[in-house]
Amino acid sequence: MAVVEANLTDLKRKLFAPFEKIGRLKLDPVQVKIKVAQEGSKERQLAADVIDCVYNSLYRKDNGNIVNIGRDRFDSLPGTVTLVGTQEVAGNFPVVVTLRVVSDKHLEIFDFFQPKENTRWPHEVGDYKAGEIGRLSFNPGLDFVRANSQDAKDAKLIDDYKRDIFRMIYSFGLEILRSNGVETPYYMVGPHVNRFLVSCGLYAVRIDNVESKRTPEVEAIRQEFRDYWHSDKSVKYQPWAYLAPWKFQDK
């Protein structure tokens, strides 16, 4: 985790720009293309910008220098894949959604949680290969359109758009995990994100036999993004570890 020499206000302005003159009818999930963002590509940098903007604006509330979370040590692992969804908006092709999948022996979720004494992770019980889904972020320009709309119907239309493109990118992520031999996918999310996932038809199983890990590195992240981790509150308000579903259910 490192501080990036960039201003959050400037980053927001950069991400909002393609959406400033867009009408809601142009936000069409059918037009969204889900693909792998190759390292060094424009899409990969845009994905990092979206993640950094979302996490820093929502969970740090500091318009100064940005704490980097869009890139970390997991990006160097061969089993890490960053996915993006792009759509043409006013002649530009912004990343409207991004997601990361990891197929490796070490996952980020293992940094933050550990099994309670005399218990094991679900994948260890059956000696299955584990994987992880994380870093879900939507371009904040979508909320910009929502907030500046004069039509009350726009809120629902944009919320539906988010659900549709999330289902698309999540399904693609599962295909990658499955192709890499993953049998037990995990994700860790906060209550507010989990409510969104449920609204999309994902009913994950909470892993109750784990507990928060306390290391200096993890505590530094929890402190930096305190409005996400809520370490000072009851665990019901904190992010938790879940078994990621392989399919969506009808709501």
User: Domain holding 228: CATH number?
Assistant: 3.40.630.30
Counted domains in the chain: 1
Q: For residue range 23-57, list pLDDT tens digits in order.
A: 555 788 999 999 999 999 999 999 999 999 999 99
Mean pLDDT computed over 193-208:
97
pLDDT for residue 26: 73
- Residue 126 belongs to a domain: yes
Domain assignment present for 233: yes
Is residue 248 one of the residues assigned to a domain? no
Q: What is the mean pLDDT of the chain?
A: 91
Domain hosting residue 116, numbered range: 3-243
SS3 letters across 180-248: CCCCEEEEEECHHHHHHHHHCCCCCEECCCEEECCCHHHHHHHHHCHHHHCCCCCHHHCCEEEECCCCC
Residue 131 or 72, more confident: 131
Based on DSSP, count helices (H) and strands (E) in the chain, helices before strands.
9, 11
Determine the pLDDT at residue 149: 77
pLDDT digit string, tens, across residues 106-124: 999 999 999 999 999 999 9
What is the model's pLDDT at position 207? 98
Q: Considering the domain boundaries, does residue 7 fall inside one?
A: yes
> How large is the average pLDDT for residues 187-208?
97
d(CA 189, CA 161): 21
Residue 132 falls within a domain, yes or no? yes
Q: 4 pLDDT exceeds 80?
A: no
Question: Does 195 fall in a domain?
Answer: yes
Task: Evaluate whether residue 250 is within a structural domain.
Answer: no
CA distance 62 to 18: 24
Is residue 181 domain-resident?
A: yes
